[in-house]
Amino acid sequence: MATYNRLPVTFDRGEGVWLWDTNGKRYLDALSGIAVCGLGHAHPAVRDALCEQAGRLIHTSNIYGVAEQERLGALLTEQAGMDRVFFANSGAEANEAAIKLARLHAHRRGIENPAILVAEHSFHGRTLATLSATGNRKVQAGFEPLVQGFVRVPYDDLDAIETAATNRPNIVAILIEPIQGEGGIRLPSDDYLVRLREICDRSGWLLMLDEIQTGMGRTGRLFAFQHAGIQPDVVTLAKGLGNGMPIGACLARGAAAEVFSPGSHGSTFGGNPLACRVGRAVLETLIDENLTENAAAQGAYLLDSLRAALGETHGLVEIRGRGLMVGIELDRPCGELVGRALDAGLLINVTAERVIRLLPPLIIDRAQIDELVATLTGLIHGFLGDA
Ligand SMILES: *Cc1c(COP(=O)(O)O)cnc(C)c1O
């Protein structure tokens, strides 16, 4: 169905940060399939895990023990400092699990009409519950009635949360992105997550972080919450976890980890041997090849290089980001830059109309960043000059 406005290009193969289209033209991929292919394309560790597991066992059922699910679950919860994990097949499904978990937790404590705090400009997915949680009317329009039970506050506004806490005794959780991705690479104040943790502790709310875009090394730590030195009660992952293999995860800690019991939730495909074997290969490779550290170092270099090249440009509003999650905000809509970049052999994205979004693979090196910056800044200068 016509759910996407597709760009006029079809890719045939990839290797590392590079993609080749069906005409043999080469592109520098600075988007990674929207924060998915953190290890780049055709990484041997992913290929080997996938091929080996496909030849051994792809699927049985969650009514049996699943050894690969246990292995990935153990490694993931250890790395995240969480206790338990539910595996799903996508980000939206991981968030659905978190939303159901928060509601069940509330009902168990006698709260009949629980509400979850969510932010303006947020993005949590396209299923009915997750689009209702999303802070973007375009995602919701036409799909009413929306799922009830979400209270919206401005992002990075602690006073609004304090007010909601006073007025709404039925709030049971906060669901929020540590950095808003689709919303325009919006970074909150440095102490935002720490303060959210304090408010949640004081109010008996679950702190649920949507790390579907920020997780898996993207921001220069394995999980973005680690920059703040806090632990959430629930964290959701997907995108970078499978490097393209569909997998989502909802991790929980403490009381939140004990909410689901047999029959509360489930998934036929979720946590199958193939997806989990690939997820483990991705996580092990991130650790073994120090890719989180590379994301931090190359991300800092990317920000510096962009600022040096674009610093005084008229029409530039801000360059911001963390690790390899970078936004360049202009003072005007700039969607046409995506096509111009494509012509120039560079894959980028524009979100929130005016923000160029860069999410290159975590394996990117300095020379490739130099090329990315040279091509992109040329395009931006041209666009702002002739717009
Ligand atoms: C992409 C994304 C989702 C949705 O993930 P899907 O796999 O497309 O369902 C949810 N939250 C955030 C922050 C995302 O970036």
pLDDT in tens, 228-255: 999 999 999 999 999 999 999 999 999 9
Q: Which of 51-60, 163-172, 228-237 has the lowest mean pLDDT?
A: 163-172
Report the pLDDT averaged over residues 169-175. Answer: 97
91 lines ligand 1 (CB under 6 A): yes
Cite the active site residues. 123, 210, 239
Mutating to test ligand 1, I would choose from 212, 236, 267 the residue with most ligand atoms within 8 A of its C-beta, which is: 212
What pLDDT score does 178 carry?
Answer: 98
Pairing of strands 115-119, 355-358: unpaired
Q: How far is the CA of 125 from the centre of ligand 1 (A)?
A: 5
Report the pLDDT averaged over residues 286-310. Answer: 98
pLDDT at 386 over 80: no
Among the listed residues 134, 119, 118, 101, the one whose alpha carbon sits nearest the alpha carbon of residue 250: 101
In this structure, what DSSP letter does residue 218 have? T
What pLDDT score does 312 carry?
Answer: 87
- Tell me the per-residue pLDDT of 77-112, one tens digit each, with 9 for 90 and over: 999 999 999 999 999 999 999 999 999 999 999 999
What pLDDT score does 251 carry?
Answer: 99
Computed on alpha carbons and rounded to an integer, the radius of gyration of the chain in Å comes to 21
Q: Give the span between the Cα atoms of 109 and 98, in whole angstroms.
A: 17
Which CATH number does the domain 44-288 belong to among 3.30.30.10, 3.40.640.10, 2.60.40.1220, 2.40.50.140? Answer: 3.40.640.10
Among the listed residues 176, 66, 160, 170, the one whose alpha carbon sits nearest the alpha carbon of residue 118: 176
What pLDDT score does 23 carry?
Answer: 98
177 lines ligand 1 (CB under 6 A): yes
Helix (H), strand (E) at residue 268: none
Q: Is 210 annotated as a binding residue?
A: yes
- Tell me the per-residue pLDDT of 107-130, one tens digit each, with 9 for 90 and over: 999 999 999 999 999 999 999 999
Q: Is 329 annotated as a binding residue?
A: no
Q: Residues, the chain, total? A: 387
Residue nearest to atom 8 of ligand 1 (CA): 91
Q: What average pLDDT is seen over the chain? A: 97
Q: Is 79 annotated as a binding residue?
A: no
Contact 362, 324 (CB under 8 A): yes
| Cut 0.75: pTM above it | yes
Report the pLDDT averaged over residues 216-229. Answer: 98
Would you tell me how many other CB atoms lie within 10 Å of the CB of residue 180? 26
Report the pLDDT averaged over residues 272-292. Answer: 98
Mutating to test ligand 1, I would choose from 134, 239, 357 the residue with most ligand atoms within 8 A of its C-beta, which is: 239
Q: How confident is the model at residue 387 (pLDDT cuts 50, 70, 90)?
A: very low
Q: List, by residue range, all CATH 3.90.1150.10 domains of the chain.
A: 11-30+290-386
Q: List, by residue range, all CATH 3.40.640.10 domains of the chain.
A: 44-288
124 lines ligand 1 (CB under 6 A): yes
Residue nearest to atom 5 of ligand 1 (CA): 91
211 lines ligand 1 (CB under 6 A): no
For 13, residues 6+ apart whose C-beta sits below 8 A from its C-beta are 19, 20, 41, 42
98 lines ligand 1 (CB under 6 A): no
What pLDDT score does 346 carry?
Answer: 98
Fold of 11-30+290-386: Aspartate Aminotransferase, domain 1 (3.90.1150)
